[in-house]
Amino acid sequence: MASIILGGIEGGATHSNLVLFNGNGEKLAQVAGPGTNHWILGMEECQKRINKMVEQAKHEAKLPSEKPLNALGMSLSGCEQEETNKQLKEELQKNFPMLSSNYVVCSDTVGSIAAVLENGGIVLIAGTGSNCLLLNPDGSVHRCGGWGHIMGDEGAAWWISHKAIKICFDEQDNFSQPPHPTQVVWKSVQEHYKIETRFDVLDHCYTKFDKCHFAGLCKLLAKAAVQGDRLSQWLFKEAGRMLARHITALLPQVDRKLLNEPGGLPVVCVGSVWLSWEYLKPGFITQLKEGAAKLQRLSLLRLTTSIATGSVYLAAKEIHFDLPRDYTHNYEIFFTYNGDQT
């Protein structure tokens, strides 16, 4: 079994991770790489980055570069459409024949669920952008969000950053008044973008727009929330409401078997915004109580392994290989909601 080599990639908009396992379930190598969202990079560059990571991992695992992996699972940001997923798979086979013998291409949401839940559940991503996916025990899939910053990304770092800037602009325009003083938030905006006036921000919104850099303001806002800034705390509370709305939107499609899990409906939470759970929590609970009155129990799970591990599991499934695994080592429960919770 040790001769079977399986790979898995967790690919985000800003960075990616790849792991190699042998058939005994032992991790052979783990490498980090840049973002692999083909909508941002283009197909060609995305493929080059995937190939480079696999080559590096083979080298670290002391595997021959000319021997293809038995299967490679790729859970990548932006891989929501079957047509483009098929294109990525076919072009990798054509352009990099030594890369892998078999491929699985899916969104990062699918890989998140695969890493921790054998029977399905919900994954809610809140990183640079946001996305939510429900996988039922019968294999049916339902989605909410994942439309990018123009059409969505509610509750994510980009959304929080944009909302913070808009509140400051609106106050200075006398267009609308903020819920709390803006001095700390505006200072954070100036510090992050290295600007002085509102006009200086426009470069970062238009001519020099970089979604990841734009969303980076969220880190400073998180620090400000910890330090007691009320507007920053309010922004995360509102983000909590938005994230919970993804769940309430999918509830009508949830199989009752998932609701009857020991901890209630399992929700895998992925992304750096969840690190500010203390400030997301009030808005999150309020939205659940308002939008999911009949929901009795829900558990929020945090990955203790990489999404890339879930990608490896998907790769094993693709070639019908029973890879040893223990899901309990891959997550921890950090919050349980009860319907009567305040």
pLDDT 10s digits, 226-248: 999 999 999 999 999 999 999 99
What per-residue confidence (pLDDT) applies to 341? 62
Rounded CA separation 241/247 (Å): 10
Confidence of residue 340 (pLDDT cuts 50, 70, 90): low
Phi, psi of 37 (to 5 degrees): -85, 110
Secondary structure percentages of the chain, helix, strand, coil, to 5: 45, 20, 30
pLDDT at 274: 97
Residue the block writes with tokens 């992996």: 69
For 159-178, how does the pLDDT look when each residue is reduced to its tens digit (9 = 90+)?
999 999 999 999 999 999 99
The answer to pTM > 0.85 is no
pLDDT at 2: 65
> Helices 157-172 and 217-226, interaxial angle, to 10°?
80
Residue 233: closest CA among 263, 278, 268, 166: 278
In this prediction, residue 243 carries a pLDDT of: 98
Give the fold, CATH level 3, of 5-118+305-326: Nucleotidyltransferase; domain 5 (3.30.420)
Rounded distance between C-alpha atoms, residue 58 and residue 7, angstroms:
10
pLDDT, residue 80, reads: 79
Query: Would you call 177 helix, strand, or coil by DSSP?
Result: coil
Average confidence (pLDDT) over 333-337 = 95
Which residues lie below 8 Å from residue 196, measured CB to CB, with a gap of 6+?
A: 190
Beginning with the edge strand found earlier in the chain, give each strand of the sheet holding 71-76 in spatial order: 27-34, 15-22, 5-11, 71-76, 103-107
The strands making up 297-303's β-sheet, listed across from edge to edge, are 141-145, 130-135, 121-126, 265-270, 297-303, 331-338
pLDDT for the residue 110: 85
Distances (CA, A) of 209 to 38, 115, 212, 271, 286: 18, 34, 9, 22, 34
The confidence score (pLDDT) of residue 16 equals: 93
> Helix 307-318 crosses helix 108-116 at what angle (to 10 degrees)?
90
- Spatial distance between the Cα atoms of 292 and 84, rounded to a whole number of angstroms: 35
User: pLDDT per residue over 259-317, tens digit each?
Assistant: 998 899 999 998 999 999 999 999 999 999 998 877 889 999 999 988 899 999 999 99
Dump pLDDT digits (tens) for 12-59: 877 899 999 999 989 999 999 999 988 888 999 999 999 999 999 999
Residue 46's pLDDT is 93
The domain limits of the chain are 5-118+305-326
